[in-house]
Each structure stands twice: as C-alpha cells, then as structure tokens.
Amino acid sequence: MSTFCGIALRHPVINASGCFDALAAQHVFGDFTLPFSAYVSKTITLEPRQGNPPPRLWESPAGLINSIGLPNRGLAGYLEHDLPALAALAVPLITNVMGSTVDEFCELVEAVGAQDAVDAIELNVSCPNVATGLDIGADPAELESLLAALRPRSAKPLIVKLTPNTADVAACAAGAQAGGADAVSLINTLRARALVPGGSAPWLGGGNGGLSGAAIRPIALAQVSLVASAVQIPIIGMGGVARGRDARDLLDAGATLVAVGTESFRDPAAAGRIVCELERTFSQIAR
C-alpha cells in the first residue's frame, strides 16, 4: 500500500500521461485489470486539437522520439465523453492539463477540479509561454507565479510535471513547491530531433520531438535525486522505467511513486511485471 497526497494506492506504480490509453485497452482486451494503482489521463487543453502532422514517432537506438502534438477533444469533450468512462476505472484518476497562458490553466484547473471523479490534477508545463516563447516549466519564477494563481482554484492535489529541458530542474521544483504545488512529477521527454534517412530534413512532422525510453533513464535518476534534495513535497519519478530495478532506483533516489511510460507501448502488461519485480526487490539484500 502507498499513500500519495492523501490518496491510498495499492502499490507505487502508475502510468506516465499519454503512454497508456485505458479506454482503448478496455475496448481491445475486454475485461482486463489495469496494471497501475492510479490512472493518469493524456493531456487535455481548453480547445480541441488535431495534433501534429505525421510522422509522429521515430525509434532511436535506445528510445523513442515523439511529436504527437497534444491531439485531444478539449475540455468540454473530455468532460462529456472521456470522464464518465475514466471515472468507472477501478483506480484513482489523475487528469493532466496544459494551458498556454495562466488564464487557460486557471480555467482548466477550476473545471477539472470541480469533478468528483478527479482525484488529482497534473499540470503539464512543457509548453511555450505565448508571450516569451520559453517553456513555462523551464523558469522557476514563472512556475511559482503559475502555481500561486492556480492554488486557490482547486482543493484537489496539484502535481507539476516538470520538464527536463531546463538549466536547473531542482530550482523549478522549488518554485513549484513555493507556489503551492502538492507534488512534482518528472521527467517529461528530452527535446530531440530525428532526420529523414539519408537527408538533413527533420523526420517528424512537428520538427523536433521528445526522447523517452531507456536512453533517458540515467538522466531521470539524476534529476529525481536533485529534486529530492530541493523539495519536501512528494515526487513521481519516471523516465525509462522498464524493470523493477529501475523503479526501485527512482524510489531510492527519493520518489514516492514511479510511472511507466514508453515500456507500456512495447508491452501493455509491463507495469504488472514491474510491480512484481519491485516487490521482490524489497526482500533482496543485494540487487
């Protein structure tokens, strides 16, 4: 049993936002048990979005580069179509939202936070501020003022999904905490580019993308460790988790929960295996 922001969870393994479609899995596999102790939904924005033109994926030697571009039904579509089905899942629900201004974030947090079915809100701050062009989550002061604006809008736990594409992730985590965040999650993907075979043009329709998978595991470990030294709020650690040992390493580095991302694309049942492996590592003297 784990406790996270007052929410009781069966075990410490959840999904990374956008890396497991629970509703599609239900459709394809029928009656199945979600391998996560809480479910994090894919990022929603205020208005519907088509997402980026294809290609959207590139497999690198030790990871995956994506440029999906946030396709989603928008807030109203999420509340009407997705939330009733997500509310029926057997685990707590964390809804992930992204705004490109403080006002957009406020509207999203207020609307989502008012839903009984939503147990916590994850803020995706890996998007450019429309005024500065810089990622909101890359600047500690901007993060602090964003959280200070959001905090009074909902009593639900606010989790800030930190970007690794910043000079000082620990300062960003401290800024989020100072603004009133209840938890941080990290890491999102690292900015990356793939080229068309034999050429110099970007392969991905969106230009650059985000790198995930085994390639970023050591970076996640370093950043979780840095953040754990800088804040007192709980941490959800993620980045290349594919085995119980990877999850254990992030927990040892200071995470309270661990999220499985890219590995679930390779094997939708991976998180179940990781939970079993993780339980075994508790009783091992030497790993």
Q: Which is nearer to ligand RRO, 35 or 210 (CB)?
A: 210
Least distance to ligand RRO, CB of residue 212, Å: 6
Spot the catalytic one: 5, 19, 106, 127. Answer: 127
Q: Which is nearer to ligand RRO, 44 or 257 (CB)?
A: 44
What is the H or E stretch that residue 169 is in?
helix 169-179
Q: Which is nearer to ligand RRO, 44 or 91 (CB)?
A: 44
Q: Which is nearer to ligand RRO, 43 or 225 (CB)?
A: 43
Distance of CA 199 to the CA centre of its chain: 33
The reply to whether 106 belongs to the active site is no
* Residues in contact with 162: Cβ distance below 8 Å, sequence separation at least 6, in sequence order: 125, 137, 169, 172, 173, 176, 184, 185, 186, 187, 188, 223, 227
Residue 249's DSSP bridge partners are: none
Least distance to ligand RRO, CB of residue 207, Å: 11
Q: Are 77 and 83 in contact (CB under 8 A)?
A: no
96 half-sphere exposure, CB direction, 13 A CA radius: 22
Task: Please give the span between the terminal C-alpha atoms of the chain, in angstroms, as a whole number.
Answer: 22
**Maximum Cα–Cα distance for the chain, whole Å?**
53
Buried b (16+ CB within 10 A) or exposed e, 248-283: bbbbebbbbbbbbbbbbeeebebbbbbbebbeebee
Q: Which is nearer to ligand RRO, 2 or 189 (CB)?
A: 189
Location of structure tokens 């941490």: 235
Q: Are 95 and 22 in contact (CB under 8 A)?
A: no
d(CA 9, CA 112): 21
Least distance to ligand RRO, CB of residue 96, Å: 8
Q: Which is nearer to ligand RRO, 207 or 218 (CB)?
A: 207
Q: Which residue is nearest to ligand RRO (CB)?
A: 210
DSSP state of 135: B
Least distance to ligand RRO, CB of residue 100, Å: 12
Least distance to ligand RRO, CB of residue 6, Å: 25
Least distance to ligand RRO, CB of residue 161, Å: 7
Binding site for ligand RRO (CB under 6 A): 18, 43, 66-70, 124, 126, 188-189, 210
Active site residues: 127
